[in-house]
Protein backbone atom coordinates (compact mmCIF):
# COMPACT_ATOMS: atom_id res chain seq x y z
CA UNK A 1 0.00 0.00 0.00
CA UNK A 2 1.35 3.38 -0.96
CA UNK A 3 0.83 6.46 1.19
CA UNK A 4 1.69 10.03 0.43
CA UNK A 5 0.71 11.61 3.78
CA UNK A 6 1.96 10.62 7.22
CA UNK A 7 -0.34 11.80 10.02
CA UNK A 8 -0.41 11.76 13.80
CA UNK A 9 -2.41 8.63 14.80
CA UNK A 10 -4.00 10.63 17.63
CA UNK A 11 -4.94 9.51 21.13
CA UNK A 12 -4.41 10.63 24.70
CA UNK A 13 -0.83 9.38 25.07
CA UNK A 14 2.03 11.85 25.18
CA UNK A 15 3.94 9.79 22.61
CA UNK A 16 2.36 8.25 19.48
CA UNK A 17 4.02 6.17 16.77
CA UNK A 18 3.47 5.51 13.09
CA UNK A 19 5.48 2.27 12.99
CA UNK A 20 7.19 0.63 10.02
CA UNK A 21 6.17 3.16 7.39
CA UNK A 22 8.57 1.40 5.01
CA UNK A 23 7.69 -2.18 5.83
CA UNK A 24 6.66 -4.99 3.53
CA UNK A 25 2.98 -4.04 3.50
CA UNK A 26 3.37 -0.29 3.06
CA UNK A 27 5.66 2.14 1.28
CA UNK A 28 5.89 5.91 1.42
CA UNK A 29 6.34 7.48 -1.97
CA UNK A 30 9.04 10.01 -2.67
CA UNK A 31 7.84 13.54 -1.96
CA UNK A 32 5.30 12.50 0.69
CA UNK A 33 4.10 14.96 3.30
CA UNK A 34 4.45 14.71 7.07
CA UNK A 35 1.62 16.50 8.90
CA UNK A 36 2.55 17.60 12.45
CA UNK A 37 -0.39 18.96 14.48
CA UNK A 38 -0.10 22.00 16.80
CA UNK A 39 1.59 21.42 20.17
CA UNK A 40 3.48 18.41 18.76
CA UNK A 41 7.03 17.66 17.69
CA UNK A 42 7.74 14.80 15.25
CA UNK A 43 10.87 12.71 14.67
CA UNK A 44 11.69 10.16 12.01
CA UNK A 45 13.69 7.19 13.32
CA UNK A 46 15.74 4.92 11.05
CA UNK A 47 17.17 1.87 12.86
CA UNK A 48 17.43 3.89 16.06
CA UNK A 49 18.89 7.01 14.39
CA UNK A 50 16.90 10.17 15.08
CA UNK A 51 16.16 12.87 12.53
CA UNK A 52 16.12 16.56 13.43
CA UNK A 53 12.78 17.60 14.99
CA UNK A 54 9.80 18.50 12.80
CA UNK A 55 7.85 21.46 14.18
CA UNK A 56 4.06 21.72 13.79
CA UNK A 57 3.12 22.18 10.14
CA UNK A 58 3.33 20.47 6.74
CA UNK A 59 6.72 19.00 5.76
CA UNK A 60 7.63 17.41 2.42
CA UNK A 61 9.97 14.45 2.85
CA UNK A 62 13.01 13.34 0.86
CA UNK A 63 13.82 16.80 -0.52
CA UNK A 64 16.59 17.62 1.95
CA UNK A 65 20.29 17.55 1.22
CA UNK A 66 21.51 16.40 4.67
CA UNK A 67 22.95 12.85 4.95
CA UNK A 68 19.99 11.77 7.01
CA UNK A 69 17.39 12.77 4.41
CA UNK A 70 19.49 11.37 1.57
CA UNK A 71 19.50 8.05 3.35
CA UNK A 72 15.77 8.33 4.01
CA UNK A 73 15.13 9.03 0.32
CA UNK A 74 17.13 5.92 -0.62
CA UNK A 75 15.08 3.83 1.79
CA UNK A 76 11.78 5.10 0.44
CA UNK A 77 12.79 4.46 -3.15
CA UNK A 78 14.09 0.97 -2.41
CA UNK A 79 17.78 1.82 -2.52
CA UNK A 80 18.55 0.71 1.07
CA UNK A 81 16.64 -2.40 2.20
CA UNK A 82 16.30 -4.02 5.63
CA UNK A 83 15.63 -0.74 7.47
CA UNK A 84 13.08 -0.02 10.21
CA UNK A 85 11.56 3.43 9.75
CA UNK A 86 9.05 4.90 12.23
CA UNK A 87 7.67 8.35 12.94
CA UNK A 88 7.24 9.52 16.57
CA UNK A 89 4.82 12.29 17.55
CA UNK A 90 5.43 13.88 20.99
CA UNK A 91 2.96 16.30 22.57
CA UNK A 92 4.75 19.27 24.11
CA UNK A 93 1.69 21.25 25.24
CA UNK A 94 -0.30 18.47 26.87
CA UNK A 95 -0.23 17.03 30.39
CA UNK A 96 -0.96 13.46 31.36
CA UNK A 97 -2.45 12.21 34.64
CA UNK A 98 -1.22 8.81 35.83
CA UNK A 99 -1.90 6.46 38.74
CA UNK A 100 1.09 4.23 39.44
CA UNK A 101 2.23 1.66 41.96
CA UNK A 102 5.86 2.09 42.94
CA UNK A 103 6.66 -1.56 43.60
CA UNK A 104 8.90 -2.50 46.54
CA UNK A 105 10.76 0.42 48.13
CA UNK A 106 13.59 -0.32 50.60
CA UNK A 107 13.82 1.95 53.63
CA UNK A 108 15.69 2.02 56.95
CA UNK A 109 13.59 1.40 60.06
CA UNK A 110 14.53 3.86 62.80
CA UNK A 111 14.33 1.90 66.08
CA UNK A 112 16.21 -1.28 65.16
CA UNK A 113 18.10 0.08 62.10
CA UNK A 114 17.04 -2.75 59.78
CA UNK A 115 16.18 -2.55 56.09
CA UNK A 116 12.49 -3.11 55.38
CA UNK A 117 10.28 -2.99 52.28
CA UNK A 118 7.18 -0.91 51.59
CA UNK A 119 4.72 -0.51 48.72
CA UNK A 120 3.24 2.82 47.68
CA UNK A 121 0.62 4.17 45.29
CA UNK A 122 0.96 7.63 43.80
CA UNK A 123 -0.87 10.01 41.48
CA UNK A 124 1.09 12.36 39.26
CA UNK A 125 0.71 14.81 36.41
CA UNK A 126 3.56 15.28 33.96
CA UNK A 127 4.37 16.75 30.56
CA UNK A 128 7.21 16.61 28.04
CA UNK A 129 9.75 19.39 28.50
CA UNK A 130 12.45 18.23 26.06
CA UNK A 131 11.17 15.88 23.31
CA UNK A 132 14.60 15.08 21.90
CA UNK A 133 16.06 14.11 25.29
CA UNK A 134 13.07 11.90 26.09
CA UNK A 135 13.07 10.17 22.73
CA UNK A 136 16.80 9.49 22.93
CA UNK A 137 16.19 7.79 26.27
CA UNK A 138 13.37 5.68 24.87
CA UNK A 139 15.13 4.69 21.65
CA UNK A 140 18.35 4.06 23.55
CA UNK A 141 16.54 1.62 25.84
CA UNK A 142 15.10 -0.50 23.05
CA UNK A 143 17.32 0.29 20.05
CA UNK A 144 15.48 -0.62 16.82
CA UNK A 145 12.80 -2.86 18.32
CA UNK A 146 10.83 -0.05 19.94
CA UNK A 147 7.09 -0.26 19.28
CA UNK A 148 3.91 1.35 20.54
CA UNK A 149 3.47 -1.43 23.13
CA UNK A 150 6.82 -0.46 24.66
CA UNK A 151 5.89 3.17 25.33
CA UNK A 152 3.89 2.75 28.52
CA UNK A 153 6.18 0.28 30.40
CA UNK A 154 9.34 2.15 29.40
CA UNK A 155 7.83 5.50 30.37
CA UNK A 156 6.70 4.13 33.73
CA UNK A 157 10.19 2.86 34.53
CA UNK A 158 11.64 6.26 33.68
CA UNK A 159 9.08 8.00 35.90
CA UNK A 160 9.33 5.64 38.89
CA UNK A 161 13.14 5.56 39.17
CA UNK A 162 13.59 9.05 40.74
CA UNK A 163 10.32 8.77 42.67
CA UNK A 164 11.36 5.50 44.31
CA UNK A 165 14.77 6.88 45.23
CA UNK A 166 13.34 10.04 46.82
CA UNK A 167 10.57 8.10 48.58
CA UNK A 168 13.07 5.64 50.06
CA UNK A 169 15.02 8.48 51.67
CA UNK A 170 11.89 10.12 53.08
CA UNK A 171 10.39 6.93 54.54
CA UNK A 172 13.67 6.24 56.34
CA UNK A 173 13.19 9.47 58.31
CA UNK A 174 9.75 8.53 59.67
CA UNK A 175 8.32 5.82 61.88
CA UNK A 176 6.18 3.16 60.24
CA UNK A 177 3.07 4.18 62.18
CA UNK A 178 3.25 7.70 60.76
CA UNK A 179 3.49 6.84 57.06
CA UNK A 180 -0.18 7.14 56.15
CA UNK A 181 -0.81 10.05 58.52
CA UNK A 182 1.79 12.21 56.76
CA UNK A 183 1.06 11.51 53.09
CA UNK A 184 0.89 15.20 52.13
CA UNK A 185 4.10 15.94 53.97
CA UNK A 186 5.87 13.02 52.28
CA UNK A 187 4.53 14.09 48.88
CA UNK A 188 5.82 17.63 49.36
CA UNK A 189 9.25 16.35 50.38
CA UNK A 190 9.52 13.85 47.51
CA UNK A 191 8.33 16.18 44.71
CA UNK A 192 11.46 18.41 44.32
CA UNK A 193 13.87 15.47 44.13
CA UNK A 194 11.59 13.55 41.75
CA UNK A 195 11.17 16.63 39.55
CA UNK A 196 14.94 17.05 39.27
CA UNK A 197 15.36 13.39 38.38
CA UNK A 198 12.66 13.46 35.69
CA UNK A 199 14.15 16.60 34.15
CA UNK A 200 17.18 14.49 33.18
CA UNK A 201 14.82 12.43 31.00
CA UNK A 202 13.18 15.42 29.36
CA UNK A 203 10.01 15.22 31.50
CA UNK A 204 8.41 17.85 33.72
CA UNK A 205 6.66 16.70 36.90
CA UNK A 206 3.80 19.10 37.52
CA UNK A 207 2.27 17.45 40.58
CA UNK A 208 2.86 14.38 42.72
CA UNK A 209 0.55 13.05 45.43
CA UNK A 210 1.18 9.94 47.49
CA UNK A 211 -2.08 8.00 47.85
CA UNK A 212 -1.04 5.28 50.32
CA UNK A 213 1.95 3.44 51.79
CA UNK A 214 1.70 -0.23 52.76
CA UNK A 215 4.22 -2.36 54.65
CA UNK A 216 3.73 -6.10 53.88
CA UNK A 217 2.65 -8.42 56.68
CA UNK A 218 5.89 -10.40 56.49
CA UNK A 219 7.89 -7.23 57.15
CA UNK A 220 5.64 -6.25 60.06
CA UNK A 221 6.09 -9.75 61.53
CA UNK A 222 9.86 -9.28 61.48
CA UNK A 223 9.48 -6.00 63.34
CA UNK A 224 7.06 -7.58 65.83
CA UNK A 225 9.56 -10.31 66.76
CA UNK A 226 12.30 -7.74 67.27
CA UNK A 227 10.03 -5.69 69.52
CA UNK A 228 9.15 -8.82 71.53
CA UNK A 229 12.82 -9.69 72.04
CA UNK A 230 13.58 -6.11 73.02
CA UNK A 231 10.72 -6.03 75.54
CA UNK A 232 11.77 -9.35 77.13
CA UNK A 233 15.39 -8.24 77.38
CA UNK A 234 14.43 -4.90 78.90
CA UNK A 235 12.17 -6.62 81.42
CA UNK A 236 14.97 -8.96 82.47
CA UNK A 237 17.34 -6.03 82.86
CA UNK A 238 14.83 -4.14 85.02
CA UNK A 239 14.23 -7.18 87.24
CA UNK A 240 17.95 -7.79 87.65
CA UNK A 241 18.55 -4.15 88.56
CA UNK A 242 15.73 -4.26 91.11
CA UNK A 243 17.10 -7.50 92.60
CA UNK A 244 20.57 -6.00 92.85
CA UNK A 245 19.26 -2.93 94.70
CA UNK A 246 16.96 -4.74 97.13
CA UNK A 247 19.01 -7.88 97.96
CA UNK A 248 22.59 -6.73 97.52
CA UNK A 249 22.14 -3.03 98.35
CA UNK A 250 23.51 -2.10 94.97
CA UNK A 251 26.83 -3.86 95.67
CA UNK A 252 27.80 -5.78 92.56
CA UNK A 253 30.96 -7.14 94.19
CA UNK A 254 28.95 -8.98 96.84
CA UNK A 255 26.78 -10.66 94.24
CA UNK A 256 29.82 -11.66 92.20
CA UNK A 257 31.58 -13.15 95.24
CA UNK A 258 28.37 -14.96 96.15
CA UNK A 259 28.19 -16.55 92.71
CA UNK A 260 31.86 -17.56 92.88
CA UNK A 261 31.55 -19.15 96.31
CA UNK A 262 28.27 -20.97 95.82
CA UNK A 263 28.62 -21.88 92.16
CA UNK A 264 25.05 -20.65 91.56
CA UNK A 265 23.91 -17.62 89.61
CA UNK A 266 22.24 -15.06 91.81
CA UNK A 267 20.17 -14.04 88.78
CA UNK A 268 18.67 -17.34 87.76
CA UNK A 269 19.51 -19.98 90.34
CA UNK A 270 21.36 -22.11 87.77
CA UNK A 271 24.78 -23.60 88.56
CA UNK A 272 27.66 -21.66 87.09
CA UNK A 273 30.10 -24.61 87.24
CA UNK A 274 30.63 -27.97 88.82
CA UNK A 275 31.75 -27.64 92.44
CA UNK A 276 33.08 -31.15 92.92
CA UNK A 277 35.09 -31.63 96.13
CA UNK A 278 33.62 -28.51 97.77
CA UNK A 279 31.50 -28.59 100.86
CA UNK A 280 28.21 -26.77 100.18
CA UNK A 281 27.65 -26.19 103.87
CA UNK A 282 31.01 -24.47 104.25
CA UNK A 283 30.31 -22.33 101.20
CA UNK A 284 27.03 -21.15 102.70
CA UNK A 285 28.71 -20.40 106.02
CA UNK A 286 31.42 -18.31 104.32
CA UNK A 287 28.75 -16.52 102.34
CA UNK A 288 26.78 -15.76 105.49
CA UNK A 289 29.86 -14.32 107.15
CA UNK A 290 30.62 -12.22 104.10
CA UNK A 291 27.16 -10.73 103.86
CA UNK A 292 26.47 -10.42 107.61
CA UNK A 293 29.73 -9.77 109.45
CA UNK A 294 27.78 -8.94 112.60
CA UNK A 295 26.72 -12.59 112.82
CA UNK A 296 30.36 -13.79 113.04
CA UNK A 297 31.52 -15.05 116.50
CA UNK A 298 33.58 -12.73 118.73
CA UNK A 299 37.36 -13.35 118.73
CA UNK A 300 39.58 -13.00 121.86
CA UNK A 301 42.05 -10.15 122.12
CA UNK A 302 45.65 -11.54 121.89
CA UNK A 303 46.76 -9.11 124.60
CA UNK A 304 44.08 -9.17 127.32
CA UNK A 305 42.25 -12.29 126.10
CA UNK A 306 38.90 -10.52 126.41
CA UNK A 307 36.27 -11.08 123.65
CA UNK A 308 36.45 -8.40 120.93
CA UNK A 309 33.58 -7.71 118.50
CA UNK A 310 34.03 -9.08 114.97
CA UNK A 311 35.55 -6.63 112.50
CA UNK A 312 36.94 -4.36 115.27
CA UNK A 313 40.41 -2.85 114.66
CA UNK A 314 41.16 -2.15 118.38
CA UNK A 315 40.31 -4.06 121.55
CA UNK A 316 37.53 -2.28 123.53
CA UNK A 317 39.07 -3.53 126.80
CA UNK A 318 42.79 -2.82 126.56
CA UNK A 319 42.77 -0.45 123.60
CA UNK A 320 45.52 -2.27 121.72
CA UNK A 321 45.48 -2.94 117.97
CA UNK A 322 44.07 -6.32 117.10
| CATH superfamily assigned to domain 95-215 | Band 7 domain (3.30.479.30)
Evaluate whether 283 touches 261 at the Cβ level (below 8 Å).
Answer: yes
CB atoms within 10 A of CB 203: 24
- Determine the Cα–Cα distance for residues 48 and 13; give it in Å rounded to an integer: 21
Q: In terms of C-beta density within 10 A (0-12 exposed, 13-18 middle, 19 or more buried), how is residue 315 classed?
A: buried
- How would you write the pLDDT of the chain (322 residues) with one tens digit per residue? 456 788 999 888 899 998 877 755 566 666 778 899 999 999 988 777 888 899 999 988 765 555 566 666 666 655 555 567 788 999 999 999 999 999 999 999 888 888 899 999 999 999 999 999 998 888 765 555 567 787 888 888 889 999 999 999 999 999 998 999 999 999 999 999 999 999 999 999 999 999 999 999 988 888 888 878 766 655 556 556 665 565 556 555 555 655 555 555 555 555 545 444 445 555 555 556 555 555 556 678 887 878 877 767 777 777 777 7
pLDDT value at residue 121: 95
- Check the CA dihedral 249-252-258-259 and report its sign: positive
Q: Which residues have a Cβ under 8 Å from the Cβ of 277 and sit 6 or more positions away?
A: none
Per-residue model confidence (pLDDT) at position 25: 57
> Given this model, what pLDDT does residue 1 score?
46
3-state SS string over the chain? CEEEEECCCCCCCCEEEECCCCCCCCEEEEEEEEEECCCEEEEEEECCEECCCECCEEEECCCCCCHHHHHHHHHHCCCCCCCCEEEEEEECCCEEEEEEEEEEEEEECCCCCCEEEEEEEEEEEEEECCHHHHHHHHHHHHHHHCCHHHHHHHHHHHHHHHHHHHHHHHHCCCCHHHCCCCHHHHHHHHHHHHHHHHHCCCEEEEEEEEEEEECCHHHHHHHHHHHHHHHHHHHHHHHHHHHHHHHHCCCHHHHHHHHHHHCECCCCCCECCCCCCCCHHHHHHHHHHHHCHHHCCCEECCCCCCEECCCCCECCCCCCEC
Q: Where are the domains of the chain?
A: 2-91, 95-215, 217-272+280-290
Lateral strand order in the sheet of 49-50: 15-18, 85-91, 40-46, 49-50
pLDDT at position 234 is 58
CA torsion, ordered 95, 101, 105, 107, to nearest 10 deg: 80
* 244 close to 250: Cβ distance less than 8 angstroms: yes
User: Residues near 234 by Cβ (< 8 Å), separated by ≥ 6?
Assistant: none
Vertex 21, ends 15 and 22: CA angle to 5°? 145
Amino acid sequence: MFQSIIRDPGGEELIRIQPNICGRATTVVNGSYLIVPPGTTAFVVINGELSPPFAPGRHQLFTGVSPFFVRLRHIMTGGEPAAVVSVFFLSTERSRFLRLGTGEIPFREQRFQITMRALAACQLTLSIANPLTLLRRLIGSYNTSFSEENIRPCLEQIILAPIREALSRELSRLSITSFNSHLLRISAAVTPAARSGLALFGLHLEQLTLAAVHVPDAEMQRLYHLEQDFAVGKNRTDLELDHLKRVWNGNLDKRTISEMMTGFSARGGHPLKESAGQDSFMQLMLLSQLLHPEAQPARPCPHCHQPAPPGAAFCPHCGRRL
